[in-house]
A and B are shown apart, each in its own frame.
Chain A
Amino acid sequence: MRQLLAAFVMVVTILFLLAVQGCQTVGTVAGLGADIAAATGKISAKEAESIKRGAQAAGQAFEEFTPENEYYIGRTIAANILSRYKAYENNRANYYVNLVGQTLAMASDKPETFSGYHFLILDSDEINAFAAPGGLILVTRGLIRCCRDEDALAAVLAHEIGHVQLGHGMGAIRGARYTSLGKVVGVELAKNLGGGQLAQVAEIFDGTVGDIMKQLVDTGYQSSQEYAADQAAVVIMKRVGYNPSALKDMLEEMGKRLGPKSGGFGKTHPSPANRLQKVGSSLAGSGPTVAAGIRKARFEQAMTGI
């Protein structure tokens, strides 16, 4: 009898564990939106608090930006950058960068954004790159010149995809924007915003764009965010089969080329040496992969004149 009881308890325990496990899986799916928001660092705990306060004030929370919101923020950010830098009008080169970049994005942790990942070369000697929220990625000719082959270009693009995937751009938005937006849009859920509301939301949009531009152009991401983007780049490169040590080659070349007059990049990024030190351990064991020669040849063909 005692044995039977023990067996019964065991079976019930197993079933209970199964049920709990099932529940966790379901919960993972159910909480996905929130998980992504948290995982991508869209909001910090402090910002979440602000949102709560805003929600109390307005009666309706403005919890987080949807991928569509992110898309419109990203478009405006990209337009602002393209007002400071000229586009590099070379269809072949831009197509090739998209071929490498969009292929990498599909292997990232966030392959789906509202309107996909798109890449464009900026006609500038400055060594720089910008990842606008939603996946609009701009890379200067100067930065591409730090790449000696396709694997190195993949390292640059995968790093920028890493910033998008980790929500670093959106993370620059001040908590107060969420609170203000909650107050405006939370109270009235009409299909379109009325005149007064439109003006208020437009003002918050200006502030939001300003927050992100400030980070992209003036202050830069936090060093920890740059290192995280490097780590993400290594993961993405490994998934697709690029040689992750190309990131090292690229950073070394960048270190050589970044002089004291290197423009905004030197100011907004940790030094290539520091990045190398941080990412170094995850590159251990990676060496030249097969067909690097084939990839180098098509890189050189597409990038003639860069």
Chain B
Amino acid sequence: MKPMKKMTTAFLIMAAAAVSFATGAWAKEMTVQVNMTQLRATPAYYGAVVATVDYAARLQILETKGSWAKATDPKNNKTGWLHLSALTSKRLTPKAGAKSAPTSVSTGELSAAEKGFTEQIEKDYRQKNRTIDFTWVDRMEQININPQKSVAFLKDGQLIATEGGRP
């Protein structure tokens, strides 16, 4: 092999390696770490809702833009954007009674943190601390502002609908 040809071959190999390294690695999975959130048509809270995703859902990450990720839910092949603060690279266990089937992860891979403070612990706490009243905590959690309401509120006050900050 002439030096010139050798170099061309080496070049092609390196180029292929570099490109696949830079792009191929995007086929990455991440897990929804919040109770429930939405996949949206655009990287913004005010974008149309494509689908809803639950806690522990594993999503294929296609690309990121600022603090938003474009992801596909393999369960129904729906693709949309969600904020990176809703995602973790860890695996999580679906809640009992969740529609999604349990993931096939072995228990060894599960985060010990999931075993920390859960509904079970709150229940125990409430039994032991009868004077601590959760009524208003439950009530305040019921106050949910639909993003469309926020848009109208911002518009009326001549404010800006931003796309959400960076994690």
Contacts and interface: CB of A to CB of B under 8 A. Distances in A.
* Same complex origin of A and B: yes
Contacts of B50: none
B113 A240 contact: no
B116 A66 contact: yes
A78 B92 CA distance: 26
Interface in B3-29: 4, 7, 11, 14-15, 17-19, 21-23, 25-26, 28
Q: How large is the interface on B (under 10, 10 to 19, 20 to 34, 35 or more residues)?
A: 35 or more
Contacts of B30: 29, 32
B107 to A, nearest CB: 4
Given A61-B112, A198-B120, A79 B134 contact: yes
A208 B143 contact: no
Interface string B137-149: 1011101110101
Contacts of A111: 45, 83, 85, 164-165
A202 B18 contact: no
Interface stretch (A94-102, A217-225, A257-265, A269-277): A94-102
Contacts of A182: 112
B153 A103 contact: yes
Given A115-B141, A116-B144, A118-B140, A107 B162 contact: yes
Contacts of B28: 26, 29-30
A108 B45 CA distance: 12
Nearest to B16: A15
Interface string A5-43: 100100110011011011101101111110110010000
B149 A79 contact: no
Given A23-B25, A185-B112, A242-B159, A78 B14 contact: no
B89 A30 contact: yes
Contacts of A82: 133, 136-137
Contact of B165 (A61, A73, A103, A107): A107
21 contacts: A4-B7, A11-B11, A12-B14, A15-B14, A15-B19, A29-B61, A39-B167, A62-B112, A62-B113, A68-B33, A72-B118, A72-B119, A82-B136, A109-B165, A120-B136, A136-B140, A202-B124, A205-B125, A241-B154, A241-B159, A291-B158
Given A102-B145, A189-B108, 5 more contacts: A68-B118, A76-B132, A103-B154, A201-B115, A205-B125
Q: Which 10 A-B pairs have CB atoms at the shortest separation, nearest pair first?
A: A22-B22, A291-B158, A15-B18, A185-B115, A112-B86, A109-B165, A33-B88, A241-B160, A19-B18, A102-B145
